[in-house]
Amino acid sequence: GRLGRGEDGRVEIDCNGEGVLFVEAEAPDATVDDFGDFAPTMEMKQLIPLVDYTGDISSFPLLVLQVCTRRTRFLAASHPTTSIVFCLLDASFPSASL
């Protein structure tokens, strides 16, 4: 679905069959240590899926997911009002990450 406006102007979810934006990336030689203290740098911002929020609210995906595989798995989720990054350290148990 997507966000939309009801007849009264309130923001609501339009269940229109539009799916989530899902991005998968692989960094076979990267480790958690390569990212330092995860300070908000331009390099770290490149790990978060980019969504153009300049259009109409109905074009915004409700959820954006990005999963990076191998030694460390990253799950980055984005919402029209915020961005959240989770780091899941599961190198020993890759099937338990999601």
**pLDDT tens readout for residues 34-65:** 777 767 777 777 777 777 888 888 888 777 76
**Alpha carbon of 69 to those of 11, 80, 82, 94: distances in Å?**
35, 25, 24, 9
Whether the CB-CB separation of 65 and 22 falls below 8 Å is answered with: yes
Q: How confident is the model at residue 97 (pLDDT cuts 50, 70, 90)?
A: very low
Least reliable range by pLDDT among 21-25, 56-60, 74-78: 74-78
The percent of residues above 70 in pLDDT, for the chain, comes to: 58
Higher pLDDT, 8 or 65: 8
Residue spans of the domains in the chain: they are 19-96
Whether the CB-CB separation of 64 and 49 falls below 8 Å is answered with: yes
pLDDT of res. 68: 60
Q: Model pTM?
A: 0.45
Mean pLDDT over the full length of the chain: 68
Q: How confident is the model at residue 8 (pLDDT cuts 50, 70, 90)?
A: very high
CA atoms within 13 A on the CB side of 96: 6
